[in-house]
Amino acid sequence: MAIRWRPMQPNDVRECSEIVAAHPVIGPRYGSALSKLRPAWSSLLGSDAAIMVVFEEVKGSRRVLCGTGVAVFVHDEFLQELKKRPFWIGPELARRIVSGKSPILSDKQFRQANSSCGLNHVTWEGIVRPDFEENSELRRKLPNALIAEHRGLFLNEAIANQMDSVERLRWTLEVGALLWDPVAGRYDHRTAKDPREIIKNPHVVGISREAETRRPGTWVGALFEYTPPHCGFSVAEQQVLNAALAGATDQELSSKLGISVSAVKKNWISIYKRASASLPDIFRENSQADGGTTERGKEKRRYLLAYLREHPEELRPHSRKRPH
């Protein structure tokens, strides 16, 4: 028995929206917008500007979906509107997306922002089934997933999900998030408000890159750790590298990506050439890449994949027209 997370798939959307609807605190916040949640989430699957995962308990061949996490990257205007007069984020996003007024970045806008001015992250929902609330393994996996899914992105500001309990609010503040004061127009680590009153009304809990640089490092501050990419891999090259990081062979890459083995090898040659030019020190020798069919090629692949595990920014969507 184990808890794991994976990308949300089309056949997960209904169950995930039902988890939201059944939640005793979060469900009522949606009201009539609950009917819009499922089509809104379905429309975002595969978008660069949406991180959508599910958590499931695996027992042999049996899998039980126990929670979901959805985060999106939004335009500056939406973020400023939220901070000026807070509202319930999830219902408002669902309504706007279904009505054709989505505040979420397009794939092109996401790539441009991640390559230049930075991204505004907003957690839509982070929610688990009531019977998994006390599951210790799931509690450990939730923050791990948050960091893993955001590593390598150039974040300007990160807004947490709106709290459904006093305990969750306290924990979020303890790990470094701050409560936004719309009157003062700033994040503040101190508040005289009763936590029970805070969670009853729309509120904003988060942190900005600017605020994080003015204090000692925190757990949540890890979201802002960022190094600009050096290689500028193409989308096709990133697909090959992501699959290779998961352990796929060239034959498996061919099947998974729907291209010939010859095309896979051509991608490797291009990848090695780009990496050798940008990161010559990760290879012992600057020799002609051979697609990994010889020992030298396999060695190159090992070095490159080891580097990419520590530098996920190389595999994040970016604009090749304006590199860092």
Rounded to two decimals, what is the model's pTM? 0.90
Note the pLDDT tens digit of each residue in 227-250. 999 999 999 999 999 999 989 899
For residues 244 and 270, state if they share a domain.
yes
Note the pLDDT tens digit of each residue in 178-197. 999 999 999 987 777 899 99
For residues 192 and 285, state if they share a domain.
no
For residues 57 and 141, state if they share a domain.
yes
At residue 3, the pLDDT reads 92
Residue 298's identity, in one-letter code, is K
Coil, strand or helix at 254 = helix
pLDDT band at 149 (very low <50, low <70, confident <90, very high): very high
| Cα gap 212→19, rounded to integer Å | 33
Q: Into how many domains does the chain fold?
A: 2
For residues 116 and 6, state if they share a domain.
yes
230 in any annotated domain: no
- Mean pLDDT within 119-139: 93
| Cα gap 145→122, rounded to integer Å | 15
For residues 195 and 264, state if they share a domain.
no
At residue 323, the pLDDT reads 43
DSSP states along 78-144: HHHHHHHS---HHHHHHHHHHTT---BPPHHHHHHHHTTT-EEEEEEEEEE-GGGTT-HHHHHHHHH
Domain span at residue 273 reads 235-315
Contacts of 194 (CB under 8 A, 6+ apart): none
Write the burial class of residue 234 (CB in 10 Å: 0-12 exposed, 13-18 middle, 19+ buried).
middle
47 in any annotated domain: yes
- Mean pLDDT within 32-46: 97
The partner residues of 35 in beta bridges, in order of sequence, read none
320 in any annotated domain: no
- More confident position, 216 or 77: 77
Q: At what angle do helices 235-245 and 250-257 cross, to 10 degrees?
A: 130
| Cα gap 278→290, rounded to integer Å | 18
For residues 126 and 55, state if they share a domain.
yes
At residue 322, the pLDDT reads 44
Which CATH number goes with the domain that contains 105? Answer: 3.40.630.30
At residue 296, the pLDDT reads 67
